[in-house]
Chains A and B, each alone.
Chain A
Amino acid sequence: MSIVSVIIQLIVSGLAIGSVYGLIAIAHSMIWSGIRVVNFAQGEILMIGASVSLMYVTGEWGARLPFIPAAIIGAMAAAIMGLLIYLLVMRPTTKSGFLYVIGGCVGMQMLLQNTAILIWGATGRPYPAIFPMEPVSIGGVFIVPQDIFILLISLASAGILWLFLTRTKTGTAMRASSQNRSVAGLMGINHVRTDALTIIIASALAGIAGILIAPKFFVTPTMGASINSKAFTAAVLGGFGNIPGAIVGGLLLGVVENLAGGVFTSQAKDAVSFIILILIMMFKPGGLFDAGPGRKA
Chain B
Amino acid sequence: MKSVNCIQFIKKHRILSLFVFFVILVSGIIGIGDPYMSHVLIIGGIYGFLAIGLNVVTGLCGQINLGMAGFYAIGSYTSALLSTKLGVHFLVAFPVSIVFAAIAGLIIGYPALKVRGGVYLVLITTSFASIIQTILTQWVSLTNGPMGVVGIESPSFFGLTVQSLDSWLILTYFLLLVAMIVGMNIEHSRIGRSLKAVRESDTAAQSLGVNLAYYKILAFVISAAFGGAGGSLYAYYMTTVSPDIYNMNLSVQTLTMIVIGGVGSIPGSILGGIIIAVLPEMLRFLGSLQMVVYALLIVMATILLRRGLLGTGVDAIRFFKKALMGGASNG
Contacts and interface: CB of A to CB of B under 8 A. Distances in A.
Contacts of B64: 98-99, 102
A93 B302 CA distance: 8
Interface residues of B, number: 40
B260 to A, nearest CB: 9
A6 B191 CA distance: 57
Given A103-B302, A106-B256, A271-B134, 5 more contacts: A98-B118, A104-B302, A236-B123, A271-B131, A274-B131
A273 B292 CA distance: 31
Contact of A277 (B58, B114, B124, B288): B124
A38 to B, nearest CB: 5
Interface in A264-297: 267, 270-271, 273-275, 277-278, 281-282, 285
A278 B259 CA distance: 27
A62 B116 CA distance: 49
A100 B303 CA distance: 7
B114 A111 contact: no
Interface stretch (B37-45, B157-165, B293-301): B293-301
Contact of B255 (A103, A233, A275): A103
Interface of B: 58, 64, 66, 111, 114-120, 122-124, 126-128, 130-131, 134, 137-138, 248, 252, 255-256, 259, 263, 288-289, 291-292, 294-296, 298-299, 302-303, 306
With most chain B CB atoms within 10 A of its CB, the pick from A100, A106, A270 is A106
Contacts of B299: 89, 104, 107-108, 111
B116 A102 contact: no
Nearest to A40: B122
A149 interface: no
B120 A111 contact: no
A interface: dominant SS: helix
Interface residues of A, number: 41
A130 interface: no
Contact of A99 (B117, B123, B255): B255
A100 B306 contact: yes
B111 A110 contact: no
Given A32-B119, A104-B302, A106-B256, A281 B111 contact: yes
A152 to B, nearest CB: 30
Contacts of A38: 119, 122
Interface in A76-103: 88-89, 92-93, 96-100, 102-103
A99 B263 contact: yes
